[in-house]
Structure 1
Amino acid sequence: MLTLEQLALRCADPLLGLLRHVPFSVQRWVLQAAVQRLFAEPLEEGAFDLLSGRWLRLEVSDLNLAWCLTRTPLGLRMASAAPVDVSIRGNWREFVLLASRQEDPDTLFFRRRLLIEGDTELGLGMKNLLDSLDPDTMPPALWRSLCRLGQALSAEQRSAQAGGAGI
């Protein structure tokens, strides 16, 4: 019997693929509101100031989605295109593993499952910032869901590796 997380993983690719059809203005509105709320404390403490006047592009390659992000006096701002200083690119599964702390960020980058291109110092600064954020600042239900999804992804990867080891 499938767990809820396993079912979510089976449905994720076709459902997440639909996001590329959502107009960018709607994506921006939803994501800016979410990051402003999720990162309110780190923003107030200046944690994202390294993005002031600089642009980060987050690209989810397998979903053909990307957002450019900068720090303004009003908070984090998103754009569909910008003069990007650094890009962080990977598939959605790697970003979930990173966010849920199921995989070490250095491992993801070292194995080239997440790629930094451009100003690597800024990229590493962002990687370290995201890795240092306290999950206790997230709504508990969101953090628990993210962790369960990350654990299911990690288990799926281990199972795939074990299955491929005998070939």
Structure 2
Amino acid sequence: MPWLSDVGDAAVRLAATMPEPLRKILRALPPQPPSFVLARLLDRVLLPRLDSPARAAWSGRVVQLDLDDLGLRLRMRLDARGFGVAPAGASPAVTVRSTSAALWRLVRGVDDADRLFFERALVMEGDTEFGLLLKNTLDAIGPLWR
């Protein structure tokens, strides 16, 4: 899916220039539709690269991703079938806040998580041990997209 890199780059450019009325519409969306899209994408690019211990450690844990520039909140968890939308009432074990541009740089391997954390472009809150497990697992896997 090499075309997805172009789509991601275009989405980041769109986020940077999006008019405020459109941002308000995005903020009003329920989290389930964009979370579903992210879960399907993670099933394709991340799940095959997770080993059994990582899958076991992540299983059932809710991860919330807040894209501040878009006003989107994405909530997912891993179970035996793969990534899915987290139930509405489930508390996140970890919340990651970022902009779409910073997240895309991380996913593409342009910047590493430590640099983005240091610059406060990526903020993680919640279960510190689980957050470090996520970060270290993703660091070991390397860029998810090139």
Fold match (TM-score > 0.5): yes
**Which one scores higher on RCO, CA 8 angstroms, separation ≥ 6?**
2
Aligned twin of 1:113: 121
Contact 2:77–2:84 (8 Å) recurs in 1:
yes
TM-score, normalization: structure 2? 0.72
Aligned twin of 1:94: 102
Q: How far is 1:107 from its partner? A: 1.3
Unaligned runs of 5+ in 2: 1-5
Aligned twin of 1:59: 66
Give the match's secondary structure for 1:56.
strand
1:1-167 equivalent positions in 2, closer than 5 A? 8=10, 10-13=13-16, 14=18, 17=23, 19-20=26-27, 23-43=30-50, 45-79=52-86, 80=88, 82-135=90-143, 143-144=145-146
Contact 2:15–2:70 (8 Å) recurs in 1:
no
Q: How far is 1:11 from its partner? A: 3.4
Contact 1:49–1:71 (8 Å) recurs in 2:
no
TM-score, normalization: structure 1? 0.65
Tell me the distance in 1 between the aligned counterparts of 2:99 and 2:77.
Answer: 22
Cα distance change, pair 25–67 in 1 and its aligned pair in 2 (3 A): closer
Q: Which structure has more helix as a fraction of its residues?
A: 1
Tell me the distance in 2 between the aligned counterparts of 1:122 and 1:21.
Answer: 29
Question: Based on CA coordinates, which of the two structures has the bigger radius of gyration?
Answer: 1
Contact 2:31–2:73 (8 Å) recurs in 1:
no
Q: CA RMSD in A?
A: 3.0
Tell me the distance in 1 between the aligned counterparts of 2:44 and 2:129.
Answer: 27
Aligned length: 134
